[in-house]
Amino acid sequence: MRKKKLDIEKLNNELSTDAVVGKFVGNERGFGFVEVEGREDDIFISPKDTFGAMNGDTVFVMIKKDSEGTNNLDSSKKKRVEGYITEVLNRANKEVVGTFNKGKDFGFVIADDKKLFQDIYISKQLRKNAKNNDKVVVEITKYPTTKNKAEGKIIEILGKSDDSTTDLMAVIKTYGYKTSFPKEVQDEAKELPQIAMNLEGRKDLRDKEIFTIDGADTKDIDDAISLDCIDDRYILGVHIADVSHYVVDGSALDKEAIKRGTSVYLIDSVIPMLPKELSNGICSLNELEDRYALSIDIELDKDANVIKSNIYKSIICSKKKMTYDDVYKVISGHGIPNGYKPFEKTLLNMKELAIKLKQKRHDLGAIDFDLPEPKVFLDENDDVIEIKPYEITIANQMIEQFMVLANECVAKTFFEKKIPFIYRVHESPDKDKLNKLKILLKNLNYKDNISLEETRPIDIQNAIELSKDKPEEKVVSNIALRSMQLARYSEENLGHFGLALDNYCHFTSPIRRYPDLFIHRVISKYLADELNDKLKAKLLKQAIKYSETSSEMERKAEEAERDLVSIKMCEYMQKHIGEEYAGIISGINNYGLFVELDNTIEGMVHVENMKDDYYNYDEMNCAMIGERTHKIYKIGDSVKIKVISANKMLRRIDFEIIS
């Protein structure tokens, strides 16, 4: 019998102000917080008050009284809200991935997820021949209580925890991803035609100069572009794979895509949202193959102001699969790679338009964090051979500008038509986090006009630009980024702060993001004139539901991707113990300094390893100050460090400062 889902909002409305229901978020040091929907502040739970709750559990919390006998829910008093858990209403963890530690008569598993701070006891009979230091999947048979540890049985052995080939599967299992699709989903995918033939209701663009630009290894190609220059006008075409033609509302393919929400990119591996028959096959805009698309033509004047746009169904045939590296060579004057000569003029015109669009966005106040992502290079055994910043060139930026423009135009069109939709929203920054940016700018002697009450994107943009080409550039961008709210999906059009846009959505990647697929379906219904009141009501309900689930799955995917990169960074630095590097202090807390290296790897200088003095953390000024020497370390300072340890299991790299 299916368990009824808890209506947490209803429960909290019925409870007194001294009691709430929420989600427990554990911390590796044994305490935790309870997140309550609709509340700005989390509730702190000390180690003795967790009642055996594990990370992700839904719990019942009583609010502690202060010394005056009143609860401390009034956030205006700026006191930490504390509570104690009295009941676990729903357990989130049925299986856990971790490292097995073998004893004489029993063993225990330490979870990879450090928020699951409880060890899991394994009896001798239930260890399934696991050996010491094996990476395993354990099924929990008894949950922890205030007195007893969790108990479990090992159901799968993934390999040795220090084996590089184990890392990927451990992350996949930790986050509960499935590497294969259910049979009914596979059957539907295999039944789909692999040739686009029907022209009914579609504009035939197969003779038009349309091409794709992606990474060299990309197999799931969502978007293609075209550009016509007529008199003083540009007509930009953005042609997106018409995935909704194949993934029908309510089908097995659709239900599975809703569950997955997004494709997950784990270094060199992909867990796709859709089976390969679609993601790499009939939906991928492959070179010289006819494909159904949803196209938008955007007409712009010579200054890149949008005159009008038009969305329609089409059939296209990409003339070339281009790569960022080769396009960069063409538009930067570094040569014409083989096969690119016929497209040279168009690419140069695209560069011209992209530069104008970028300048317009800059003038509006769009924030360019310019933070390169780490690129991890693995050998055939999944061992790390190099980590360095992923290079972003004008070729990447060109595609980004075109996709942002298409997303904006689509969102604006359907917002004005008052049609149910899913928007990509980004709300104003968190005031407390933004204050840390202001402290950093003050420490750097930068002038800032950032208001905590009426924050404008352009003020943050200006602060970032002050640091351009300076040693602290990455740190300023990083702290600014951390002050931002997380972008999310919503059925409400709340605007996008970071892009300084009133209207924005995700339209350009329906192969790998469910919100894009959903709004393609909405657009198709609109173009077919099928949007009656009954269907609109249904679409609105779906937009609300899918906004929430897709946002959750996106955050989960980002965590998984970061987790694997963190593991590989630790693995890489294990080979470089004792070596010295230059770095920048990227963060400070009670426990020490965080230092980021040029290769994007970040490690910690723990206060215990700052042996030249006793250092105190000055929270107000975000600095570490020596008692005897009065030496001050601030965010943005350049330091030279030595690598002293790296632990894959803890996802921790330790440095010490040498100058």
DSSP for 90-159, written as a single string: E---SEEEEEEEE-SSEEEEEESSTT--S-EEEEGGGSTT--TTEEEEEEEEE---SSS-EEEEEEEEEE
Tokens of 528: 């077919």
Domain boundary among 90, 108, 142: 90
Query: Is residue 366 in a domain?
Result: yes
b/e map 160-186, b = 16+ CB within 10 Å: ebebbebbbbbbbbbbeeeeebeeebb
Q: Are residues 123 and 271 in the same domain?
A: no
How many whole angstroms from its chain centre is CA 378? 22
Q: Under DSSP, is residue 609 helix (H, G, I), strand (E, B) or coil?
A: helix
Q: Are residues 204 and 271 in the same domain?
A: yes
Identify the pLDDT of residue 536.
96
The torsion defined by the Cα of 81, 83, 89 and 93, in degrees rounded to 10, comes to 80
Q: Are residues 600 and 458 in the same domain?
A: no
Task: Output the CA–CA distances (angstroms, integers) from residue 317 to 196, 214, 287, 456, in the order listed.
Answer: 10, 16, 7, 43
Domain boundary among 90, 111, 139: 90
Question: In 10 A of CB 400, how many CB atoms?
Answer: 14
Q: Are residues 314 and 404 in the same domain?
A: yes
Check which CATH number belongs to the domain holding 79 and give it.
2.40.50.140
Query: Is residue 232 in a domain?
Result: yes
Query: Is residue 206 in a domain?
Result: yes
Tokens of 217: 């290894």
Query: Is residue 319 in a domain?
Result: yes
Q: Are residues 217 and 365 in the same domain?
A: yes
In tens, the pLDDT along 629-638 reads 999 999 889 9
Q: Which residue in this structure is represented by tokens 């729903």?
A: 90
Q: Are residues 399 and 522 in the same domain?
A: yes
Q: Report the candidate in 149, 145, 150, 170 with the shortest Cα–Cα distance to residue 159.
A: 170
Q: CA 454 to CA 216: how far, in whole Å?
A: 43
Query: Is residue 497 in a domain?
Result: no
Give the containing element (helix H, strand E) for 345.
Answer: helix 344-364
Q: Which residues form the domain of 152?
A: 97-161
Q: Are residues 305 and 398 in the same domain?
A: yes
Q: Are residues 151 and 205 in the same domain?
A: no
Domain boundary among 462, 496, 531: 531
Q: Are residues 130 and 269 in the same domain?
A: no
How many whole angstroms from its chain centre is CA 630? 40
Q: Which residue in this structure is represented by tokens 């509570």?
A: 83
Q: Under DSSP, is residue 207 helix (H, G, I), strand (E, B) or coil?
A: coil
Q: Are residues 304 and 289 in the same domain?
A: yes
Q: Are residues 20 and 108 in the same domain?
A: no
Identify the pLDDT of residue 76.
42
Tokens of 313: 């169904």
Question: In 10 A of CB 246, how many CB atoms?
Answer: 22
Identify the pLDDT of residue 186.
97
Query: Is residue 395 in a domain?
Result: yes
Q: CA 618 to CA 624: how far, in whole Å?
A: 6
> Which stretches in the chain have pLDDT values below 50?
1-4, 67-69, 73-77
Query: Is residue 438 in a domain?
Result: yes
Q: CA 223 to CA 293: how far, in whole Å?
A: 9
Query: Is residue 550 in a domain?
Result: no
Q: CA 363 to CA 461: how far, in whole Å?
A: 10
Structural domains in the chain (count): 5
Q: CA 595 to CA 659: how far, in whole Å?
A: 13
Task: Give all strands (DSSP E) within 590-651, no chain letters.
Answer: 592-597, 602-606, 615-618, 623-626, 632-634, 638-647
Is the alpha carbon torsion for 213, 305, 314, 186 positive or negative? positive
Q: CA 340 to CA 14: how far, in whole Å?
A: 66
Q: Are residues 386 and 470 in the same domain?
A: no
Identify the pLDDT of residue 165.
86
